[in-house]
Structure 1
Amino acid sequence: MTSRYWVVSLPVENSASSVWNRLQEQISKHSFDTPLYRFNIPSLRVGTLDSLLALSDDLVKSNNFIEGVSHKTRRQIEEFERLSGVESNALTVDGVPVDSYLTRFVWDEAKYPTMSPLKEIVDSIHSQVVKIEDDLKVRVAEYNNVRSQLNAINRKQSGSLAVRDLSDLVKTEDIIISEHLITLPAIVPKYSQKDWLASYETLTNYVVPRSSKKLYEDNEYALYTVTLFKRVADNFRTNARVFKRVADNFRTNAREKGFQIRDFEYSPEAQESRKQELERLVRDQENLRSSLLQWCYTSYGEVFSSWMHFCAIRVFAESILRYGLPPSFLACVLSPTTKSEKKVRSILEGFCDNSNSTHWKSEDEMGGIFGLGGDADTYPYPSFTINLV
């Protein structure tokens, strides 16, 4: 698919067919590798030149907005296709490939009656695209919210031992929780494991000897458990407050040696709940991504169709402002290669060798008088570029 097209309008003095035939002949003779198509624009309501002048600035701004929404939707489609691992589908408009829709454009009279004022049609197209963009923002935000929750869980499960969730690494048999004993998880730097094994029993008086057990190791840390006495003999009985002080002392002494004692409460119920939540988020993400991708396919077609109708209005308005009334111009679509651009521009300028083009060339040198923007002020004929990607 060609990704870049020019939409241009040439003046017609007698017959549009005659200009078309001459243009075909010139392109075929001097730039045969440049595809050339007619861009069929219906007879739209002109209104007054003052109304066209007032509309001209809005046309450029709205065109940039609609083009931006088109590209944004396309990029979203490409991202979802990549994340889903699906093969990229050729984007279509009403079942027609987008490049074919452009090169064989037909005005939708049912959707945009040509007898409506141009301003009314422009506002209608703009509002439709605004609604699609708003819907896209809401849908993407909903998807990103689920994705963020899932990423947060995955980071907890795949990060280093210093931050990750330990519930999937600690099993029932690794934990002792009783009236007299409690097991704590210790995160030990990978290259300090010997220091841990040599010193953990002396970090407080209430460590169960030889109770430390290695459960897991990653690239940076090792996960050990260590068991502390919650109570000692009756004459050394401690209450919960005393034990907390013992645990805090152990935690502080461990930290001074570079070991981290993680807060951890083993709960099979909570672990099962987290597992179910993860599975739900995975399902929700896949369902949202699939439905959003289908919505983007449809919405891209709607935005692109709106864009092409908008381009038709822009060509019509700029041609009237350029060549005057009554409307007498030929609109075309070309797709020259980079090396052919200069030659094609020269051919197109050859069709503007009249008083109108001379007037516009002199005005262009002064910066243009109608403020059409885009490429229009650069050439003696209306011209702007459509980038499909």
Structure 2
Amino acid sequence: MASRYWAVSLPVNNSASQLWTQLQQRISSHSFDTPLYRFNIPNLRVGTLDSLLSLTDDLTKSNNFVEAVTHKIRRQIEELERAAGVDGGGLTVDGVPVDSYLTKFVWDEAKYPTMSPLKEIVDGIHTQVAKIEDDLKVRVAEYNNIRSQLNAINRKQTGSLAVRDVSNLVKPEDIINSDHLTTLLAIVSKYSQKDWLSSYETLTSYVVPRSSKKLYEDNEYALYTVTLFNRVADNFRTSAREKGFQIRDFEYSPEAHENRKQELDKLMQDQERLRTSLLQWCYTSYGEVFSSWMHFCAVRLFAESILRYGLPPSFLACVLAPAAKSEKKIRSIIEELSDSTNRQVLLFLAYWKAEDEVGAGMAGLAGGDGDAHPYVSFTINLV
């Protein structure tokens, strides 16, 4: 799939089919690696010149918005597919690949009646896409909230012993809690284990000899138990802290451990459910937004062509995907096929553009992408 297309229109003096044949022949003979397609735009309702000029002021801005939402949904799909470890097999619009939808574009008369004013079509597209973007924000926020909760739990379970939850590292037989004895958990630097083993019995009185047992070790710390009398537990904590050993408050509870496990399982299920739901919604919404975007591009090409070439509408619209090495040659071919009178218009507009005294509508006449061409042209970036 090509990632970048040009949408262009050329003025037709005699026959559109003859101009199309000439364009095909010249491109195929000079740049055979450049796909070329007709862009079928119906006869839309032009309205007044003032309304058309006013519309073109907003066309570029609105196009940027619709394009940005399209790419935002596509990036979200890619992220969700990576997280799920799946390959979606390529995005589609109405069941066909996006590039096929673009290159075989057909105007949806039922959704966008051609007799509707152009501004009504443009505003309708903008409103629809804005609603989809708002819905996307809500759905992504809900999904990210679950992910954040899971990430926080995972950090506690997989992070350093200095911060992680140690409940899943401790077994019932490791802990003694009675009227007189208690078991404490100590976090000891990996390089201070010898110091701990040689000193823990003397950090305070009434420590059970040889009671310390290593339960777990990571790259930085080791987890030890130590058993002592309840009445000296506070003294032991103070002395251990002075020597750089961290004593973790811990009370073994099978019920609490099971509750944490159930909470984690539920969050994982919720994450998978939301991810699947969001991914399916993104697939559908991407098709809707991409279709809206292509209809918007058709309106833009139509409006700018009318302002450039005049009435009645008589122009050839097409899309092509030139390779970077062929761009200059393709531009020269299209320019050669453009009417010479449009070159004079181009020079006039380019002069006023250089003086920064041209309005946005006139800038549209000078070329949709801001480059001065004697024909209408703008770029469609699919990624």
The TM-score with structure 2 as length reference comes to 0.95
Match of 2:223 in 1: 223
- Pairs within 5 Å for 1:1-389: 1-230=1-230, 243=231, 246-367=232-353, 369=359, 370-372=362-364, 374-389=368-383
1: distance between equivalents of 2:218 and 2:32? 63
SS at match of 1:378: coil
SS at match of 2:183: strand
1: distance between equivalents of 2:368 and 2:13? 26
2: distance between equivalents of 1:352 and 1:164? 70
SS at match of 2:214: strand
Match of 1:238 in 2: none
Query: 1:87-119: per-residue Cα shift (whole Å, max 9, x none)?
Result: 232211101111011011000000000111111
Give 2:380's aligned amino acid.
I
Query: 1:296-316: per-residue Cα shift (whole Å, max 9, x none)?
Result: 111111010000000000001
Q: CA deviation at 1:348?
A: 0.6
The answer (yes or no) to whether the contact 2:342–2:375 under 8 Å persists in 1 is: no
The answer (yes or no) to whether the contact 1:214–1:225 under 8 Å persists in 2 is: yes
Query: 1:249-283: per-residue Cα shift (whole Å, max 9, x none)?
Result: 32222122111001112111000000011111111
Q: CA deviation at 1:183?
A: 1.0
Percent sequence identity is 78
SS at match of 2:375: coil
Give 1:24's aligned amino acid.
Q
Give 2:175's aligned amino acid.
I
Aligned alpha-carbon RMSD (Å): 1.4
More displaced stretch, 122-131 vs 351-360: 351-360
The answer (yes or no) to whether the contact 1:376–1:383 under 8 Å persists in 2 is: no
Query: 1:207-250: per-residue Cα shift (whole Å, max 9, x none)?
Result: 223221111111111111112212xxxxxxxxxxxx4xx43332
1: distance between equivalents of 2:121 and 2:204? 80
2: distance between equivalents of 1:388 and 1:340? 19
Give 2:4's aligned amino acid.
R
The answer (yes or no) to whether the contact 1:208–1:228 under 8 Å persists in 2 is: yes
The answer (yes or no) to whether the contact 1:12–1:329 under 8 Å persists in 2 is: yes
Gaps of 5+ in 1: 231-242
SS at match of 1:226: strand
Q: CA deviation at 1:48?
A: 1.1
SS at match of 2:378: strand
The answer (yes or no) to whether the contact 1:375–1:383 under 8 Å persists in 2 is: yes
Give 1:381's aligned amino acid.
Y
Match of 1:235 in 2: none
Q: CA deviation at 1:42?
A: 0.6
1: distance between equivalents of 2:333 and 2:371? 18
2: distance between equivalents of 1:177 and 1:301? 62
The TM-score with structure 1 as length reference comes to 0.93
Gaps of 5+ in 2: none
The count of aligned residue pairs is 375
Q: CA deviation at 1:376?
A: 4.8
SS at match of 2:168: coil
